[in-house]
Amino acid sequence: MDSAQKPTARLTTLEWRATTSLALIFALRMFGMFSILPVLAIYARDLPGGDNQFLVGVALGIDGLAQACLQIPFGLLSDRFGRKRMIYLGLALFALGSFLAASATTIHMIILGRLVQGTGAISAAVIALLADLTREEHRSASMAVIGMSIGVTFGVSMVLGPTLNHYIGVPGIFALTGVLALLALLAVRFIVPAPLASRVHGDAETVPGQLRAVLKNSELQRLNFGIFSLHAAMRGLFVAVPLLLLNVGGMAVETHWKVYLPVMALSFFGAVPAIIVAEKYARMKPVFCGAVGLLFISTILMAVLVNHFAGIVIALFLFFLAFNLLEATLPSLVSKIAPAGSKGTAIGVYNTGQFLGLFLGGAIGGFLAQHADYSAVFAFSSGLGIAWFTMAISMQKPPAVKTLMFHVDVKNAQTADALAAALAKLRGVTEAAVSADEGVAYLKADQHDWDEAGAQALMARYKIALVMKT
């Protein structure tokens, strides 16, 4: 392989611009979605219909239903009508929903506004645009930056939400969310680069022809149930916890940040060592199962200690310790388990499960709070936790593999099949697939020992440039 074929070690200026600007788009949009969570249940009590906690739970979760229905179609439509056009549409809908909720005078109007917010389901289209703007060998790093921006935004939103509520109220937060969406729209127009060409990326997008195989994969379905359960528990939590901090802890809503700040910070940094152990030392299954078990323990503690302030805070810390650990390990597991070349489809189905969890967690949590009590909300979450734990301990040990991609110049399916067969015979390669349409070969190889020299020799034989993604 000559030097001209070797990929550069760093992101180019354009790739950095694309990565940071799209991370900003996610952050601006997500801040509005997250900052309302710690205050909406308290605010809704003073609205007509707000004494019905089922409706409050629906308001908290209804955006998830819209995103579950539309995020894959938005991504597919972006292939046809253009990435930026679909993102413009999604951000405009999100802004419209935010302004509708800001002007709401009843809980039903807030539900409508939140529903319209959810129709701006741009996540898949943004990731597809990122794939258009980054080379294969750097895409994982770009995805990591976006994932980090979402995680940081979530923590910051939990802390700032109660403070913003004190100064501008919930209508002000909704209005600010709408303004941020419009600023994000301007950023897409003037900051995010325009791709020279758009194409389907199997590592980043849902491919309809791959859905059947992905849905039939029982190991992936365990993970889909897991992300559903995790986000159902999280959204149900915000039906109850803000009111418990107010009523049991005697904390005014503007001081709730004093709980959320240490909980979020300590749980975030507490998860890091476990993530390192799971990935570096191939201990993914025990770390993963331990986190699912911790999720169950934290929610059952909330159910038992629902009238004890210190117990609620400790359980909340344990919950977000498990939450942060699982949010980091679940996508990694999807990548390891998904068939080669089908990661984008697997993630699309996974995200659909996540959004359904947001909706049903809010709705069922609200129903239980209305017709039973807050302990029942947490008991429901613990039920999901024990069901998930049962699935987790019986899952196959995740393979200790890394995903690699070769940018290839394959003209037809026959050559693609021949190359895939040759790659699959290399030492340490567990799976190989080649797409002539995408011009990419996907490999799964042992994390510590695979025949990279053999791959280079094979690429030279096929006169194809090697590009690697760890």
CATH code of 369's domain: 1.20.1250.20
Q: Which two tokens stand for residue 17?
A: 């611009």
Does one domain contain both 275 and 347?
A: yes
Total number of residues shown for the chain: 470
pLDDT of residue 4: 34
Whether 72 and 124 have beta carbons less than 8 Å apart is answered as yes
pLDDT of residue 460: 64
Does one domain contain both 391 and 445?
A: no
- In sequence order, which ranges of 82-205 are alpha helices (DSSP H)? 83-102, 107-119, 123-133, 136-190
Instruction: Report how far residue 241's alpha carbon sits from residue 323's, in angstroms, rounded to the nearest whole number.
Output: 16
Does one domain contain both 330 and 391?
A: yes
pLDDT of residue 286: 95
* Strand ranges, E, within 342-418: 401-407
Cα–Cα nearest to 94, from 122, 74, 61: 122
Residue type, position 321, single letter: L
Does one domain contain both 103 and 224?
A: no
Give the residues of the chain that fall short of pLDDT 70: 1-9, 459-470
Does one domain contain both 233 and 221?
A: yes
Among 173, 205, 237, give the residue marking a domain's end. 205
Which residue range(s) make up the domain with 438? Answer: 401-462
Report the half-sphere exposure of 22 (CA within 13 A, side-chain side).
31
Question: What is each CA distance from 435 to 7, 235, 340, 376, 413, in whole angstroms?
Answer: 20, 39, 11, 50, 8
Does one domain contain both 271 and 124?
A: no
Instruction: Report how far residue 9's alpha carbon sits from residue 174's, in angstroms, rounded to the nearest whole number.
Output: 42
Q: Bridge partners of 407?
A: 440
Among 205, 221, 254, give the residue marking a domain's end. 205
Does one domain contain both 434 and 358?
A: no
Domain contains 1: no
Does one domain contain both 146 and 261?
A: no
Domain contains 6: no
Domain contains 7: no
pLDDT of residue 438: 78
Taken in order 276, 17, 177, 120, the sign of the CA dihedral is negative
Does one domain contain both 69 and 98?
A: yes
Instruction: Report how far residue 241's alpha carbon sits from residue 238's, in angstroms, rounded to the nearest whole number.
Output: 5
Does one domain contain both 44 and 169?
A: yes
How many domains is the chain partitioned into structurally? Answer: 3
Instruction: Report how far residue 277's alpha carbon sits from residue 282's, in angstroms, rounded to the nearest whole number.
Output: 7
Beta sheet of 440-446, edge-to-edge order = 401-407, 440-446, 429-435
Q: Bridge partners of 446?
A: 401
pLDDT of residue 348: 95
Domain contains 2: no
pLDDT in tens, 238-277: 999 999 999 999 999 999 999 999 999 999 999 999 999 9
Domain contains 251: yes
Domain contains 123: yes
Domain contains 469: no
Among 177, 205, 233, give the residue marking a domain's end. 205
pLDDT of residue 282: 82
pLDDT of residue 134: 87
Does one domain contain both 101 and 118?
A: yes
Domain contains 3: no
Q: Bridge partners of 440?
A: 407, 435
Report the half-sphere exposure of 355 (CA within 13 A, side-chain side).
25
Does one domain contain both 30 and 174?
A: yes
Question: What is each CA distance from 105 to 45, 117, 165, 426, in whole angstroms?
Answer: 12, 17, 17, 65
Whether 188 and 129 have beta carbons less than 8 Å apart is answered as no
pLDDT in tens, 43-102: 999 999 999 999 999 999 999 999 999 999 999 999 999 999 999 999 999 999 999 999
pLDDT of residue 3: 35
pLDDT of residue 5: 39
Q: What CATH number does residue 444 fall under?
A: 3.30.70.100
Q: Which two tokens stand for residue 133?
A: 């703007």
